[in-house]
Amino acid sequence: MASIARKNLFEDIPRFLVAQAGIMFAVSLVTIQLGILKGFSRSTAIVIDYARADLWVASKEMVAFELTSPLPADYINKSMTVTGVDRAEILLVRAGRWHGHDGKLSPARIFGFNPDGELFAGWRLSDGNLNDLKQPYTAIVASGVQKSLGLDETRIGSIAGLPVTIVGTAEDVQSNASSPFLFSSLETANTYGDAEINSSINCIRQASGDLDCTNSFKNRPLGQKNGDLAPPKPLSLSDPISYVLIRAKPGQDLPQLKQRLLSALPETQILTQAEIAAITRNYWEVRTGVGFILGLGATVGFIVGMVVVGQILYASVADHLREFGTLKAMGAANSVIYRIIIEQSLWMAILGYVPSMGICLTLGQWTQMTRGIMILIEPSTAAAVLLLTVVMCMGSAIFAVQKVTRLDPAIVFKA
């Protein structure tokens, strides 16, 4: 009996392929929407995930990783004096306006950290070396954003009139919710973040006695040799910083250490890495509505998929209605017929799922490589989509079964 389902399916190959294309469309839609949502969510806090700090000292006003108020730089020293702190490192999060070699502007997110540090830069470099950042006015760029920054082989650009030379590429670190990421030494990042456009006012006294003034803003000329510039000035204790990353001494009780840090550093909140990552993801998913929109996309994908699969299965059952009627007339129990329809829907589910997953994984790799946008298909996502596909197919099988249940076996005599 079991073979009726399979044979009905493969009887008409072109028809089968058209039906499978519909199911693959539905499965891919759900997978991609879910993958984008998951990939987006993961990317918003991936920089945090790569860090190796036990605790993060953040401003009390911090809303999300990239939306925070400054802390005084001397918190680094203060936190070092707290018992149980093994290591503390500064992290700067700055915004800048990138002036590409191609002349185009782009926003940029600049992170300043100590290249010799141990707590922040856990990401993998596909080229370059953290030590190269010790050269002034250098940065490591997140992979996937080169295009947005208009980076070519020369790998230069400027921020606030200061030159930037890209010395490396960090893999899989860019947030899809943010501007292109650049990583620099503390000094360089601080200088980029600080530098204003030079402005000057030139006034000429007119014959009438009036002053005619022009206000001019000047970017420093591009392509200036790094050596011609004064090196970035070291971070001073009065400079604002964004975070202090803390590594606890081995065996420390983190909640207690949190308390001690909190009393030593007023106006702060002390978070574990998981906490600050969760706050950040939650911010993007809930507070910005981006997550809602992507979640809605996945939901709509599921509904569209359900409808498409339902139509296909229903049409297929309608096509074979006479055969089902014949089976019923012959005396087949309803359960036999249900089994055929359900088996057919499972075949359709599996045969739609497998190629779709292949397509989505390939597509995901492509978007990651070319746009830096991750379509995250973890095993759990893949499993969830498989379950969803089966549910979609079985759900529509139930609709189709209704048609057969109500089928009057007397139709078999109708020509």
- Least distance from C-beta 329 to other proteins, angstroms? 6
Tell me which stretch binds other proteins (CB under 8 A): 75-83, 217-225, 266-274, 406-414: 406-414
Q: Which is nearer to other proteins, 72 or 409 (CB)?
A: 409
Contacts of 7 (CB under 8 A, 6+ apart): none
Given 205, 225, 406, 414, the residue binding other proteins (CB under 8 A): 414
Please state, in angstroms and rounded to a whole number, the distance separating the CA atoms of residues 365 and 374: 8
Per CB under 8 A, does 321 bind other proteins? no
Residue 202 or residue 335: which is nearer to other proteins going by CB?
A: 335
Rule CB under 8 A: choose which of 106, 194, 326, 384 binds other proteins.
326
Q: In this structure, what token pair is assigned to residue 179?
A: 């501007």
CB of 1 to other proteins, least distance (A): 5
Does 253 help bind other proteins (rule: CB under 8 A)?
A: no
Q: At what angle do helices 379-405 and 13-44 cross, to 10 degrees?
A: 140
* 3-state secondary structure (DSSP) of residue 277: helix
**Which range in 7-15, 21-29, 121-129, 208-216 contacts other proteins by CB under 8 A?**
7-15
Stretches 30-38, 280-288, 326-334, 381-389: which one binds other proteins (CB under 8 A)?
A: 326-334
Binds other proteins (CB under 8 A): choice among 46, 57, 309, 327: 327
- Rounded CA gap, 212 and 223, in Å? 33
Min separation Cβ 394 and other proteins, Å = 22
Q: Would you state the structure tokens that stand for residue 234, as one six-digit string? A: 């070291």
Query: Does residue 1 belong to the site contacting other proteins (CB under 8 A)?
Result: yes
User: Quick check: 106 binds other proteins (CB under 8 A)?
Assistant: no
For other proteins, give the closer residue by CB, 203 or 333: 333
Q: Which stretch binds other proteins (CB under 8 A): 148-156, 161-169, 170-178, 404-412?
A: 404-412
Piece in contact with other proteins (CB under 8 A), picked from 39-47, 83-91, 333-341, 386-394: 333-341
Rounded Cα distance, 411 and 415, in Å: 8
Q: What distance in Å separates the CA atoms of residue 57 and residue 68, rounded to the nearest whole number? A: 11
DSSP run (H or E) holding 340: helix 334-371
Is residue 245 a contact partner of residue 91, using CB atoms and an 8 Å limit?
Answer: yes
Min. distance of Cβ 18 from other proteins in angstroms?
A: 17
Report the phi/psi class of residue 223: left, alpha or beta, with left for phi > 0 and alpha for psi in -120 to 50: left
Nearest to 189 by CA among 160, 150, 215, 221: 160
CB of 45 within 8 A of CB of 62?
Answer: no
In this structure, are strands 243-248 and 55-59 parallel, antiparallel, or unpaired? antiparallel
In the chain, the amino acid numbered 219 is N
Q: Concatenated DSSP letters for 288-337?
A: SSHHHHHHHHHHHHHHHHHHHHHHHHHHHHHHTHHHHHHHHHHT--HHHH
Work out which of 156, 307, 336, 384 binds other proteins, going by CB under 8 A: 336
Pull the structure tokens for residue 382. 């893949």
413 binding other proteins? (CB under 8 A)? yes
Residues from 11 through 30 that contact other proteins (CB under 8 A): 11
Query: Closer CB to other proteins, residue 10 or residue 366?
Result: 10
How many residues touch other proteins under the rule CB under 8 A: the total is: 27
The answer to whether 396 contacts other proteins (rule: CB under 8 A) is no
Backbone angles phi, psi at 351, to 5 degrees: -75, -20
Instruction: State the minimum distance, in angstroms, from the CB of residue 332 to other proteins.
Output: 5
Q: How far is the CB of 355 from other proteins (least distance, A)?
A: 23
Write out the residues near other proteins by the rule CB under 8 A. 1, 3-4, 7-8, 10-11, 322-323, 325-334, 336, 408-410, 412-415
